[in-house]
Structure 1
Amino acid sequence: MTIRHLKVFIEVAEKGKMSAAAEALYITQPSVSQAIRELEEHYTTLLFERLSKRLYITEAGKLLYGYAKQVVSQFDLMEDNMAPNNLKEKLRIGATLTVGGSILSPLVKDFREDHPEINIFACVDNTQDIEQKLLNMELDVAIVEGQVKHHDLVSVPLIKDRLVLACSNEHPFAGRASVSIHELEGQEFVMREPGSGTRELFEKYLEKHKIKIHTVFEEHSPDSIRKAVLINNCLTVISPRLLESELRENKVYIFVNARQDWNRSFSFVYHKDKFLTPSIRHLQELVTSYGEHEVLADIPAGRLTASA
């Protein structure tokens, strides 16, 4: 069994057809068939069911796929880093959108000042997609605001964060000392996309209180969410880190959850099999230092209560 066998297997698993895998790898279909047969003989198990000219991966195949993605990713990374003209360390950092819109850029800037010899790649996506990239070894580490769920990922909370209910200063809620959760019934909201940790936390809260809102916008970027709040008078639930300038300029008004149901953390996440290099550990220390900044200090805010 070789790396080549695993690369062929991954292509077949992802394409669902040996002919498509052969085309992607620029090899013949018999070569693909032989590689899969040799893998099945090596592990003495069936990796694909062959039904109606299509391949369906077995449970054993799914298990091998998870391992193969890790092994091939680490092998390719080793080959890339050890190339004679490319002996510069690379660090691939993932971040969820709240993190990407608040601390990621200054964090990378600080890290590069300390480690100019390291090549940085940063990727911003929602929690669900970042989790998958970590499992596929496409990222070395990530900083996320949502909860990662896979048992192969280690999650270390480092920065305290919370969500707030936000509206423009033109909204009827603006300036009030408090708003009841029941007043959110039927209100127009701009929401994050499915897969977002922010959205998941808020939807669980709405479900708990049996509240139904009207989603007018579903947005992926913090800038689009801010515009929906300021221009279209929508409500949103968001980290105050993404509204800091608007809060300082008195363009938005926020409500803090009185029961702290929306308190959460930015967590440092990596695969359990990942070797933590000195540079990764230094990045973790830098992330921790960003938790000292309190966005809501001296900002007027109302309270969101559960009572009528």
Structure 2
Amino acid sequence: MPKRLSLSQLRAVDRLGNFSLAARDIGVSQPSVSTRVQALESQYGVRLFHRNGHEVEATPLLKEILPSIRSVLAVTEDIETLLDDQHALNVGQLAIGYSTYQIAVPYISRYMKTYPDIRVEARAMASHDLLPELESGQLDVCFITAREIPSHLVGHEICEARIVLAVPRDHPYSGRASITWDEAVAYPLVQREKSSGTRRIFEASARLARVEPNTILGVGSWGSIVTMVKLGLGLGVAMDVEILPSDELVGVEIAGSGLRARQYAVCLPQMQSVRAVSRFLDLIPGRP
């Protein structure tokens, strides 16, 4: 099949009726145009132009295929424009998953303001529910809660947070700097679902302390935990960065527990080179 440059030259010669004018129009030498046309005619054993001195005219065969040539060139130009726009982030899409909106939403908002032409889709899930979506290609980037980045992923740490009990401001624990594990499990607890990174870290630490948390409810969002705690159903388990002044709750640490979690922005290794993904990760402070 003739290359794009050959098709462009055929179209230019037909439009201008002269090899020299066609060469000047597309910015190449006249011999290169005439040589390429002759090569095509020789390769396919056909006549594409009738020559009459310096003037040329398309043969019936060329006239028949010129609409197809124009279509191919138009589609090629459209593809090149799309790729250029994608490189410049003038078009495209990015699917983001997050487990903690208090951390993720500011980054998502900043990205959308910086690249307004990128269509962003954001989904909230527990950390361990996000990972299969990332691995299957349904998500491009994820914010997860974990002790470390999973070995098959790449990413960057955003912050480290304490895992605390979220208690009402009028609760007996609210004025204390910390409580013991025995005091923590003396009350019913409201946690995220079992696939939550925060819950997994909390319960692993409880096992090491040889205590059994009295989790009465697992819910799908921090907002649900806040509501349940305010209704007096139990104390919440959360990262301290999740607790906002508007929640009217206080975070109380469990003494000696070393309960810490990190938030990471992660992606599959092969997705690092995707421009929309790399530009999002560039927003993470301290990224190398």
The two structures have a TM-score, normalised by structure 1, of: 0.59
Alignment counterpart, residue 254 of structure 1, candidates 251, 267, 275:
251
Q: Can you list the C-alpha shifts for 1:235-284, whole angstroms capped at 9, x where unaligned?
A: 1220222221246xxx3222234446222221121112224334323322
Counterparts of 1:209-224 in structure 2 under 5 Å? 209-224=209-224
1:193 aligns with 2:196: no
Give the corresponding residue for 1:126. Answer: 126
In structure 2, which of residues 72, 91, 94 is the aligned counterpart of residue 91 of structure 1? 94
What CA distance in whole angstroms lies between the structure 2 residues aligned with 1:214 and 1:259?
20
Deviates more, 1:220-229 or 1:267-276: 267-276
String of CA shifts for 1:63-113, please: whole Å, max 9, x gaps. xxxxxxxxxxxxxxxx9xx69xx98211111111x2x2x133332221111
Could you tell me whether the CA contact under 8 Å between 2:144 and 2:265 is conserved in 1? yes
Q: 2:273 aligns with which of 273, 276, 280?
A: 276
Q: Deviations over 1:141-189 (max 9, x none)?
A: 1111135775432243232222222211232322234321122234211
1:141 paired to 2:144: no
Q: 1:212 to 1:186 in 2, by over 3 A?
A: farther
In structure 1, distance between residues paired with 2:283 and 2:158: 10
The C-alpha deviation readout for 1:190-211, integer Å capped at 9, x for no partner, is 0110111010000011101111
The one-letter code sitting in structure 1 at the alignment partner of 2:267 is Y
Query: What is residue 234 of structure 1 aligned with on the other side?
Result: 234
Please state how far the C-alpha of 1:133 moved relative to its aligned partner: 0.8
Q: Is the 8 A contact 2:148 2:262 kept in 1?
A: no
Change (3 A) 1:265 1:274: same
Q: 1:230 to 1:283 in 2, by over 3 A?
A: same
**Ranges of 4+ aligned residues in structure 1 off by more than 3 Å:** 147-151, 257-260
Deviations 1:13-53, CA, capped at 9 Å, x for gaps: xxxxxxxxxxxxxxxxxxxxxxxxxxxxxxxxxxxxxxxxx
Flag the 1:119–1:287 CA change in 2: closer, same or farther, 3 A: same
2:65 — aligned with what? Answer: none
Name the TM-score, length of structure 2 as normaliser: 0.62
Aligned to 1:115: 115
* Structure 1, unaligned runs of 5 or more: 1-78, 290-308
SS at the partner of 1:273?
A: helix
Q: Which amino acid aligns with 1:171?
A: H
Q: Which has the larger radius of gyration?
A: 2
For 1:187 and 1:147, the matched residues in 2 are separated by 26
Residues 187, 235 of structure 2: 8 Å contact kept: yes
Give the CA RMSD over aligned residues. Answer: 2.9
Check conservation: 1:164, 1:239, Cα contact below 8 A: yes
Instruction: Give unmatched runs, 5+ long, in structure 2.
Output: 1-78
Q: Is the 8 A contact 1:171 1:233 kept in 2?
A: no
Residue type of the alignment partner of 1:129: D
Q: 2: CA distance between counterparts of 1:177 and 1:265?
A: 22
Question: % of aligned pairs identical?
Answer: 23
Q: Distance in 2 between matches of 1:148 and 1:127?
A: 12
SS in 2 for 1:288: coil
